[in-house]
Structure 1
Amino acid sequence: MGLKESLAKLSMINIKRGEVLFKEGVPSNGAMFFLFEGQLDIYKQIEGKHAKLRSILPGEFFGEMAIINNSPRAASIVVVSETAKLGIINRTTFVQMSQESPEFLFLLLKKVIERLYETDGKIRAIKRQQDEDSAIAKVIPGSGAGSSENEMGDGEAPPEPFSDETTPVGE
């Protein structure tokens, strides 16, 4: 059985714009996901602020650390499209897909490595910008360094769902 056939068998969920699939730091439910439709954004707390790392687009896997080592979620995932359709991959399904479709493991490993490099670079850039803003604020008190940009560093406002009262959809 190929990867397409394996993906067609996944349990599906649909979630709406602004909903949080899961929050950074919460225990994982042992599931990873495949995005069929919609767009999700990944946010990470960096020095007390939510920073957008990247978007997840249809055809991408994510949340694989929950399957591999059942670690807490490394970032928060928020729906930014009107709706999103996701397939849920639990550990049993993951093992089965790995056995039935060796290309699945290769694609997943390739993506994980690419993301590590991309995320590391993005975090370094965000920290560098925050350090520069802090240095400017010390030199020119009241300059409001960084005030024209928000916490995201890319001109986007953080979504409202990061309040403590929000219950993540995927947990």
Structure 2
Amino acid sequence: MGLKESLAKLSMITIKRGEVLFKEGVPSNGAMFFLFEGQLDIYKHIDGKHSKLRSILPGEFFGEMAIINNSPRAASIVTVSEYAKLGIINRGSFVKMSQESPEFLFLLLKRVIERLYETDSKIRAIKKREDDEKKGITASSSEPEEAPPPSADDIPMIPVEGLTDDPTEEDIPRV
């Protein structure tokens, strides 16, 4: 069985614009996700400010640290498109996908390594910009300023506990 077939078996959730899937620092529920439709943004507290690290686009996995070591969430995830359709990957479905689709682990590992480099670079740039601002240095950049993130404190997290890996017919994506 290939990766597309494995993804088609995932339980699905749909979340609306402005909803927070999870918040940085909260205990993990042991689930990672695959984005089928929509766009999500990743925010992280850096030096007391919410900073956008990057966007998650369709076809991406995220939240894998929850599967590997059940650690608290490393960042907050907010829906920025009208809606986002996500597949839920719990530990059982992760193991099954790994066995049925060896390319899944390779793609996941490759993407995790790429994101580590991207995130490290982004955090360094944010800290440098803040240090420069403290010193009174104004950086000339063609990169637009990040918009402030939505207030995550006022938006409830999406409950994914208790969901199963048994999709209904309408949950199966046409990938």
TM-score normalized by structure 2? Answer: 0.85
CA distance in 2, matches of 1:44, 1:155: 13
1:168 Cα deviation after fit: 1.1
- Measure, in 2, the Cα distance between the counterparts of 1:89 and 1:63: 9
Deviations 1:125-160 (A, max 9, x none): 0000001111118xxxxxxx79xxxxxx83312112
Instruction: Give the structure 2 partner of residue 120 of structure 1.
Output: 120
Measured against aligned partners, the alpha-carbon deviations of 1:60-118 in whole angstroms (never above 9, x if no partner) come to 00000000000000000000000000000000000000000000000000000000000
Alignment of 1:67-82 (within 5 A): 67-82=67-82
Deviation at 1:170, TM superposition (A): 4.4
Distance in 2, matches of 1:43 and 1:112, equals 17
**In structure 2, C-alpha distance between the alignment counterparts of 1:61 and 1:93, rounded to whole Å:** 13
SS across alignment from 2:21? strand
Q: Is the 8 A contact 2:41 2:55 kept in 1?
A: yes
> Aligned pair count?
156
C-alpha distance in structure 2 between counterparts of 1:9 and 1:130, whole Å: 45
Rounded Cα–Cα distance in structure 2 between residues aligned with 1:154 and 1:61: 27
CA contact (8 A) 2:52 2:146 kept: no
2-structure distance, mates of 1:6, 1:155: 36
Instruction: Tell me if 1:168 matches 2:157.
Output: yes
1:1-171 → structure 2 map (5 Å cutoff): 1-136=1-136, 154-160=145-151, 162-163=152-153, 165-170=154-159
SS in 1 for 2:112: helix
Percent of aligned pairs with the same amino acid: 76
- Runs of 4+ more than 3 Å apart: none
**1:7-38 per-position Cα deviation (integer Å, ceiling 9, x unaligned):** 00000000000000000000000000000000
Would you say the 8 A contact 2:50–2:148 is kept in 1? no
